[in-house]
């Protein structure tokens, strides 16, 4: 009699296990095919006796639908049934990051790492938690750990470089951006970001022969990165290769006309920077043209002090009156503390930049005394 009862219990248990395996297989298939809504509709309400892995798949479906509360609820249920599976800890931690609950996320990432120490995604997520809390050294440690394991995503490589950049450690930042460029997917935004920063940092070091190909490659991948056009223009002005400037200026003017420019490129672009007597000089060109018939500033030299304050501006001013009197098209003037100065210097469209720059410096010397 006892043998019969035991056999019956075993058969019942086998049927239950088979049923759970079938449900889990179905959920995995639906998840692999991104049918997250179907998972929720068919299984969420009757999941009371589901296995830990089945509960995980339901929670993952909520994660993909950005339903944070239900995602965490099902991950907690999965963890309760199987506290040795790192996957629900990782998804819960990632959700907590999205919810900006970084301290709670750190604990979950660490639990996932304790169960599986060779998953780069766990360290990447942990790095994000620390980075958002402003703990850059701990974030850097976590991101570096992520890069030690196979299958590391792009993000840690980019953030390592970004942290060094935030710390003003340009040498390590540049080295890290080069490593990112070699490692990450060329079709990703992270690759574009690496190229831009390589170009920027090499330009700061005045390594224009290294900066130029970075920006050129970037524009081959993304022709709408208008900041890179401006950076290339600056490089060619630095090298006095003015014949290379026109096609890039034309791109910016065309984009301006179509309303495609934002931020500091919307009204003008910086085409040269240099130092003078301890000041930074930033030189801009505005898109505005004479067809509107109004007086406007075309080229602007800003004299910037160490506190990033503009202490003097020298500008070319389009003057319809001067043109009517057969005078020059542009008058080189200066502005300081609300006072306007017109020393009577003029230029036309055929001016050479070196001459304009020389006259602008003379005005710096005159009006900064």
Closest C-alpha to 86, from 106, 113, 105:
113
Contact 53, 24 (CB under 8 A): yes
Residue ranges of domains in the chain, CATH in brackets = 153-266 (1.25.40.10), 267-369 (no CATH)
Q: What is the pLDDT of residue 292?
A: 61
Contact 304, 285 (CB under 8 A): no
Q: What is the pLDDT of residue 290?
A: 60
Q: What is the pLDDT of residue 17?
A: 45
Neighbours of 340 (CB within 10 A): 10
Contact 40, 61 (CB under 8 A): yes
What would you measure as the largest C-alpha separation in the chain, in angstroms? 121
Which DSSP category does 367 fall into? H
Per-residue pLDDT of the chain (369 residues; tens, 9 = 90+): 454 554 444 433 333 444 567 777 877 787 778 888 887 888 778 777 889 998 988 889 999 999 999 999 999 999 999 999 999 999 999 999 999 999 999 999 999 999 999 999 999 999 999 999 999 999 999 999 999 999 999 999 999 999 999 999 999 999 999 999 999 999 999 999 999 999 999 999 999 999 999 999 999 999 999 999 999 999 999 999 999 999 999 999 999 999 999 999 999 999 999 999 999 999 999 998 766 667 889 999 999 999 999 999 999 999 888 888 888 999 999 999 999 999 999 998 889 999 999 999 999 999 997
Beta strands in 321-363 (DSSP E): 330-336, 339-347
DSSP 256-284: HHTT---GGGTTEEEEEEEEETTEEEEEE
Backbone angles phi, psi at 134, to 5 degrees: 80, 15
Look up residue 251 and give its two tokens.
């791109």
Look up residue 1 and give its two tokens.
């009699």
Task: Give CA–CA dist 159/368, Å, rounded.
Answer: 42
Q: What is the pLDDT of residue 12?
A: 38
How much is the CA Rg of the chain, to the nearest whole Å? 31
End-to-end Cα, the chain, rounded Å: 111
Q: What is the pLDDT of residue 227?
A: 97
Backbone angles phi, psi at 342, to 5 degrees: -125, 95
Task: Give CA–CA dist 67/75, Å, rounded.
Answer: 12
Task: Give CA–CA dist 229/94, Å, rounded.
Answer: 37
Task: Give CA–CA dist 180/157, Å, rounded.
Answer: 5
Angle between helices 136-146 and 120-132 (to 10 degrees): 170
Contact 340, 313 (CB under 8 A): no
């Amino acid at each position: 009699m006892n043998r019969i009862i035991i056999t019956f219990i075993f058969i019942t248990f086998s049927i239950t296990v088979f049923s759970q395996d079938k449900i889990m297989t179905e959920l995995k298939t639906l998840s692999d095919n991104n049918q997250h809504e179907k998972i929720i509709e068919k299984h969420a309400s009757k999941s009371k006796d589901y296995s830990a892995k089945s509960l995980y798949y339901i929670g993952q479906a909520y994660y993909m639908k950005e339903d944070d509360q239900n995602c965490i609820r099902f991950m907690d249920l999965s963890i309760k049934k199987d506290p040795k599976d790192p996957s629900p800890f990782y998804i819960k931690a990632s959700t907590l990051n999205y919810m900006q609950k970084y301290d709670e996320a750190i604990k979950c990432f660490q639990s996932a790492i304790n169960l599986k120490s060779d998953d780069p995604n766990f360290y990447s997520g942990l790095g994000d938690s620390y980075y958002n809390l402003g703990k850059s050294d701990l974030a850097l440690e976590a991101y570096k750990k992520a890069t030690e394991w196979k299958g590391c995503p792009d993000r840690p490589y980019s953030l390592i470089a970004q942290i060094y950049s935030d710390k003003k450690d340009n040498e390590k930042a540049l080295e890290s951006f080069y490593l990112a460029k070699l490692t990450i997917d060329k079709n990703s935004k992270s690759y574009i970001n690496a190229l831009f920063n390589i170009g920027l940092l090499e330009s700061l070091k005045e390594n224009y022969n290294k900066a130029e190909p970075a920006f050129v490659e970037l524009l081959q991948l993304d022709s709408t990165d208008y900041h890179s056009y401006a950076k290339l223009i600056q490089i060619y002005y630095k090298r006095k290769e003015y014949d290379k400037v026109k096609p890039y200026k034309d791109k910016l003017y065309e984009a301006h006309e179509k309303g495609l420019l934002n931020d500091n490129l919307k009204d003008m672009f910086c085409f040269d920077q240099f130092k003078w007597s301890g000041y930074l000089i930033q030189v801009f060109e505005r898109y505005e043209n004479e067809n509107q018939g109004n007086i406007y500033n075309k080229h602007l030299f800003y004299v910037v002090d160490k506190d990033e304050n503009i202490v003097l501006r020298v500008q070319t001013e389009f003057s319809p009156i001067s043109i009517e009197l057969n005078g020059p098209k542009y008058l080189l003037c200066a502005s300081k503390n609300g006072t306007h100065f017109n020393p009577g210097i003029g230029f036309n469209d055929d001016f050479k930049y070196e001459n304009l720059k020389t006259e602008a410096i003379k005005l710096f010397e005159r009006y900064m005394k």
